[in-house]
Amino acid sequence: MIKSHRIKVFWYALEKYYTFFVLLILILIFSIISPMFLTIRNIINVLRQISMLTMVAAGLTICRAAGEMDLSVGALAGFTGVVVAKLIVAGVNPLISVLLTLLLGITFGFLNGILVAILGVPSLIATLGTLSIARGAALTTTNGKAIYSDFPSGFAFIGEGYLGIIPFPVVIMTIVVVITYLLLERSKLGRHLYAVGENMMAARLAGLPVTFYRILAMVLSSFMASIAGIVLVARLGSGQPTAGGEYLMEGLGAVFIGMTTFKPGQANTMGTLTGALLIGIIANGLLLLGISTYIQEIIKGAIMIAAVIAAVYKEEINI
């Protein structure tokens, strides 16, 4: 009896952390094949590569937890990027530029929230529209050209600086992930966001301010995308109007892969981090193996589908 119980617990753990184990196995395989893979330098490199993606994905996780979708994150990251670049080039104090840009991001999210929670446009459609608006705004602001400049060292530090051996974008990513985790898993606010996402009607009848939470979810999503946009510009050293677009697909990929693990069926922070790591490690490992970036795209897509199939299947047998 005790033995069978142990087996059950084992299977349960395997099921729940399946995607996490896949990540560990991938790390094992890559480190056997390529001696370069498991070096501190390379690991830090991977973390830096996924840092902006993870920030966007963390925002998307909050959005998904509240049952909404935000397709505008990638375009917004691009837009906020050129805005901060333009402000700095125009001679505005870097700190004030960053704050103004974050405020712009929050305003953008607020508009998304109004569309979704007050005017009742489904978030998938609303943010598809605002995606285009953000993209168009970025192109208009820059006339379609990149903004090059020698950024002040304080601003460049955001993208290229180090804290000890840790790149500053990784530090920001860590802060974002920790805050998102505390917010969603440990706080009253997070529980309420999940409740709105799970059953909006029941949440309303339980006395929760549903409209407020839906707007908040859109705001936080845009806010995190704006952070990513600013870090991206600081790292690239230029404001590219078309940058950031891939964060939408990869960010959603991380969130969906994340939904297969830790809290199966629900968007969750640790899962999203696992997803982002998985995406980063696959890209890095394949690169080290000398596989072309074109084929990498195909493999990335296949892995995402495989992960979600596993999740669907697990829900099926979990009943």
Partner 1 sequence: MEPILRVINLEKIYPGVVALKKVNIDFYPGEIHAIVGENGAGKSTLVEIISGSIKPTGGKIIIDGKEFHGGVREALQHGIAIVHQERALVPSFNPVQNIYLGYEKGRIFVDDNQALRELKKLMEDTGIHVNLRIPVKKMGEGEKQLVEILRLLRLRPKIMILDEPTASLSKDEIKVLFSILRKSKKQGVSVVIITHHLEEVFEIADRVTVLRNGKKVATKSINDLDEDTLINMMIEQDIEARYPKTNVPSSEEILKLEKFRTPDVYVEEFEVHKGEIVGLAGLVGSGRTEFLEALYGIRRKLDGKMYLFGKEISIRSPYDAIKKGIFLIPEDRNRKSLFLRFNVRYNITISFLHKFARFFGLLNFGSEKRGAINALKLVRFDINRLEDKVKNLSGGNKQKVSLGRWLLEKPVLYLMDEPTQGIDVGAKSEFFQVMCSIMNQFGVGVILVSSDLPELIAMSDKIYVFRNGMVVDKLNREEFSSKRILNSMLMGKNQVLNER
Which residues make up the interface to partner 1 (CB under 8 A)? 182, 186-189, 191-192, 194-195, 198-199, 201-209, 265-266, 319
Please report which helix (H) or strand (E) contains residue 255, including its range: helix 246-258
The residue (of 235 and 263) whose beta carbon lies closer to partner 1 is 263
Q: Give the SS3 label for residue 319.
A: coil
CB of 240 to partner 1, least distance (A): 36
* Cα–Cα distance, 148 to 151 (Å, whole number): 9
CA distances from 311 to 69, 142, 260, 263, 290 (A): 19, 43, 5, 11, 31
Q: Give the SS3 label for residue 238.
A: strand
* Cα–Cα distance, 251 to 253 (Å, whole number): 5
The residue (of 131 and 176) whose beta carbon lies closer to partner 1 is 176
Residue 290: CB atoms within 10 Å? 7
Radius of gyration of the chain (CA): 20
CB of 107 to partner 1, least distance (A): 24
Whether residue 58 contacts residue 44, with contact meaning beta carbons closer than 8 Å, is answered with no
CA distances from 142 to 86, 135, 176 (A): 8, 11, 29
The residue (of 108 and 194) whose beta carbon lies closer to partner 1 is 194
Using the structure block, give the residue that is written with the tokens 């920790």.
178
CB of 287 to partner 1, least distance (A): 39
CB of 124 to partner 1, least distance (A): 19
The residue (of 148 and 313) whose beta carbon lies closer to partner 1 is 313
The residue (of 198 and 297) whose beta carbon lies closer to partner 1 is 198
Task: Determine the distance from the C-alpha atom of residue 97 to the mean position of all C-alpha atoms in its chain, rounded to a whole number.
Answer: 23
The residue (of 12 and 21) whose beta carbon lies closer to partner 1 is 12
CB of 9 to partner 1, least distance (A): 13
The residue (of 263 and 300) whose beta carbon lies closer to partner 1 is 263
CB of 213 to partner 1, least distance (A): 12
CB of 191 to partner 1, least distance (A): 6
As given in the structure block, the two tokens for residue 215 are 């707007």
